């Protein structure tokens, strides 16, 4: 989740907002998804890249650290409850976000993410002192996570770019 810490979280000693949970493509809006998903794990077993894992409550979420999403729709096809639905899903609005620990930004030549991005969404702008600024082209990034998988410094997070909206 994006945003500030609630008063209840502050009282409980949680100073940071909860980390955003990314649901698989074809997910219904979050509340509807949580209501309809029965945690049967059929989407997990159907996923050919195994990018779908459990969140803390046992619901499916995407974990880009070891795999990327090919958008094959196998998860939605396997979902018996409709929590993942090709017809009524949220708009997929996930994009790569490059953090400050990127090796290129810190003067170490690395272009692993750029070389692994089939869409050509990551480019580097040369800076002073041998550094390069990594840039993500929002119009090209599909949110597949292939760049996050290959990054040797865990410098790429996949994040929602805006509040999710239901598709009519």
Shared-domain flag, residues 101 and 155: yes
pLDDT at 66: 84
Long-range contacts of 163-167 (CB under 8 A, 24+ apart): 164/29, 164/30, 164/90, 164/91, 164/93, 165/29, 165/90, 165/91, 166/28, 166/29, 166/32, 166/88, 166/90, 167/88, 167/89, 167/90, 167/91
Domain around 32: 21-90
Shared-domain flag, residues 101 and 128: yes
Please report whether residue 166 resides in a domain: no
Single out the residue in 90, 114, 136 at which a domain terminates: 90
For residue 96, give the nearest of 55, 133, 141, 66 by alpha carbon.
Answer: 141
Share of the chain above pLDDT 90, in %: 71
Assess whether pLDDT exceeds 90 at residue 74: yes
Per-residue DSSP letter, 100: T
Assess whether pLDDT exceeds 50 at residue 25: yes
Rounded to whole angstroms, how far apart are CA atoms 41 and 59?
A: 8
Residues 90, 166 contacting (CB under 8 angstroms): yes
Residue 118 CA from chain centroid, whole number = 17
Shared-domain flag, residues 28 and 86: yes
Looking at 35-161, which runs of residues are DSSP E strands? 52-54, 60-62, 94-98, 122-126, 132-136, 156-160
- Of the pLDDT bands very low, low, confident and very high (cuts 50, 70, 90), residue 125 is very high
Provide the number of structural domains found in the chain. Answer: 2
Residues 111, 124 contacting (CB under 8 angstroms): yes
Three-state DSSP state, 44: helix
The first and second tokens of residue 80, run together, are: 């018996």
Single out the residue in 60, 90, 120 at which a domain terminates: 90
Rounded to whole angstroms, how far apart are CA atoms 149 and 104?
A: 17
Shared-domain flag, residues 84 and 132: no
- Of the pLDDT bands very low, low, confident and very high (cuts 50, 70, 90), residue 50 is very high
pLDDT at 114: 94
Please report whether residue 35 resides in a domain: yes
Rounded to whole angstroms, how far apart are CA atoms 72 and 24?
A: 11
Rounded to whole angstroms, how far apart are CA atoms 52 and 24?
A: 7
Shared-domain flag, residues 82 and 100: no
Please report whether residue 43 resides in a domain: yes
Single out the residue in 90, 109, 141 at which a domain terminates: 90
């Amino acid at each position: 989740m994006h945003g500030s810490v609630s008063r209840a979280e502050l009282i409980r000693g949680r100073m940071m907002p909860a980390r955003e949970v990314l649901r698989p493509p074809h997910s219904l809006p979050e509340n509807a998804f949580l209501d309809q998903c029965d945690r049967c794990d059929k989407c997990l077993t159907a996923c050919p890249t195994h990018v779908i894992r459990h969140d803390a409550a046992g619901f499916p979420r995407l974990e880009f650290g070891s795999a990327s999403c090919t958008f094959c729709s196998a998860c939605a096809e396997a979902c018996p409850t409709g929590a993942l639905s090709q017809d009524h899903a949220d708009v997929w609005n996930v994009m790569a976000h490059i953090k400050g620990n990127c090796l290129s930004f810190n003067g170490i030549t690395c272009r692993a993410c750029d070389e692994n991005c089939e869409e050509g969404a990551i480019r580097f702008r040369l800076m002073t002192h041998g550094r390069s600024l990594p840039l993500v082209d929002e119009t090209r990034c599909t949110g597949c996570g292939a760049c996050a998988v290959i990054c040797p410094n865990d410098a790429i997070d996949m994040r929602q770019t805006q509040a999710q909206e239901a598709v009519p």
